[in-house]
């Protein structure tokens, strides 16, 4: 026989849960109640900023509130990431992150003020950016095999640029070298622009960079792609084989962007944000602009993106520590 006291407690608990559930549903239905701030951890004008502003504009249409991009650059994305990690978890502050801030930088630093898994809630993957190997049009190497053969003949002498120590292009170079069993002379730059300038000027012979960064130079014939550090060919570069296709396995190095919110953001609001991000990325105009830029739209479920984040964090942490890669002081 159930006691009156136990029965009363059960009814009270059920009522409390019902009220909480109703409040959460109402909160999600009312969301957003003011403009949303989308933090991008890089300066205006770059590929991350381009993707963010394009998606933000469509999200505004779908949500009925402005989505305002705020650029908080510095420390390989750590400044922007820390800002969002400490923001109010109500869905009105979101983070368009690159893989670097949440899966590479944590392996290079022990003093980050945020935890990439504990302090964020996954919303969705946004785009994948293929990391492409390019040379000048008159370079004798016609593919990644020929370039690796040249490095085998002259180890540590062929200058090979990246966009910075610990950047995805740098890690693509490390994977390429390991797979080909060769060694280039790594020349890290502070971003893609100076690296491209020196490649075109002949100061370096090869460069890894994101497809959206390289697309104007590829289409104009100023650089020639030799391969892609990816698990599949880029739709905008269908004739450029992956490094794996050329005999260099374990060279996958997509520089993806994803959407995160602060941890403890209500599940119903996260679900709403996921739906809106997917809606923006599936919009024909947005999708075409992304593909034309060289980016690959890649909306996912929250769980899929959360799993990818954990897998990439483990993978890149292992690689940067094995290679002894440290963030420049």
Q: 265 and 198, same structural domain? A: no
Q: 143 and 57, same structural domain? A: no
Whose CA is closest to 213, among 261, 172, 260, 271?
172
What's the mean per-residue pLDDT of the chain? 93
Whose CA is closest to 75, among 50, 104, 96?
104
Would the pLDDT of 317 be above 90? yes
Q: Give the pLDDT confidence score for residue 1 in this predicted structure.
A: 47
pLDDT in tens, 125-177: 999 999 999 999 999 999 999 999 999 999 999 999 999 999 999 999 999 99
Rounded Cα–Cα distance for residues 106 and 327 (Å): 10
Q: 221 and 173, same structural domain? A: yes
Contact criterion met (CB below 8 Å) for 229 and 133? yes
Contact criterion met (CB below 8 Å) for 176 and 133? yes
On whether residue 186 sits in a domain, the answer given is: yes
pLDDT in tens, 215-244: 999 999 999 999 999 999 999 999 999 999
As a residue count, the chain comes to 329
Q: In the predicted model, what is the mean pLDDT of residues 71-79? A: 90
Three-state SS for 33?
coil
Among the ranges given (4-18, 74-88, 252-266), the one the predictor scored with the smallest mean pLDDT: 4-18
pTM above 0.75, yes or no: yes
Would the pLDDT of 2 be above 50? no
On whether residue 163 sits in a domain, the answer given is: yes
Range of the domain at 151: 131-228
Q: Give the pLDDT confidence score for residue 16 in this predicted structure.
A: 52
Q: 70 and 55, same structural domain? A: yes
Domain edge (last residue) among 228, 243, 272: 228
Q: Give the pLDDT confidence score for residue 200 in this predicted structure.
A: 97
For residue 108, what is the domain's CATH number?
A: 3.40.190.150
Alpha carbon of 58 to those of 67, 94, 291: distances in Å?
9, 15, 16
Q: In the predicted model, what is the mean pLDDT of residues 194-223? A: 97
Half-sphere exposure of 271 (CA within 13 A, CB side): 8
On whether residue 4 sits in a domain, the answer given is: no
Which pair of tokens denotes residue 320? 């940067």
State how many domains the chain has.
2
């Amino acid at each position: 026989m159930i006691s009156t006291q136990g029965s009363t407690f059960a009814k009270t608990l059920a009522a409390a849960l019902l009220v909480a559930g109703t409040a959460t549903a109402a909160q999600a239905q009312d969301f957003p109640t003011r403009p949303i701030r989308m933090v991008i951890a890089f300066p205006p004008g770059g590929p991350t900023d381009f993707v963010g502003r394009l998606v933000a504009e469509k999200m505004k249409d779908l949500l009925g509130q402005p989505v305002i991009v705020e650029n908080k650059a510095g420390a390989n994305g750590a400044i922007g990431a820390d800002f969002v990690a400490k923001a109010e978890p109500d869905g009105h502050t979101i983070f368009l992150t690159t893989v670097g801030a949440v899966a590479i930088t944590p392996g290079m630093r022990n003093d980050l003020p945020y935890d990439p898994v504990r302090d964020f809630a996954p919303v969705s993957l946004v785009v994948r950016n293929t990391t492409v190997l390019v040379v000048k049009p008159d370079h004798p190497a016609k593919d990644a095999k020929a370039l690796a053969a040249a490095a085998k003949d002259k180890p540590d002498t062929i200058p090979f640029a990246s966009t910075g120590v610990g950047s995805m292009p740098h890690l693509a170079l490390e994977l390429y070298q390991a797979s080909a069993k060769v060694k280039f002379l790594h020349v890290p730059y502070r971003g893609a622009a100076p690296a491209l300038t020196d490649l075109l000027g002949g100061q370096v012979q090869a460069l890894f960079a994101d497809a959206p960064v390289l697309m104007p130079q590829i289409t104009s014939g100023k650089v020639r792609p030799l391969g892609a550090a990816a698990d599949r060919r880029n739709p905008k570069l269908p004739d450029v084989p992956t490094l794996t296709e050329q005999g260099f396995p374990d060279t996958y190095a997509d520089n993806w962007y994803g959407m995160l919110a602060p941890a403890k953001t209500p599940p119903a609001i996260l679900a709403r944000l996921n739906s809106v991000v997917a809606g923006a990325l599936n919009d024909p105009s947005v999708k075409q602009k992304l593909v034309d830029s060289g980016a690959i739209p890649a909306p996912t479920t929250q769980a899929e993106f959360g799993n990818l984040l954990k897998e990439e964090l483990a993978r890149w942490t292992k690689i940067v520590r094995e290679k002894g890669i440290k963030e420049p002081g």
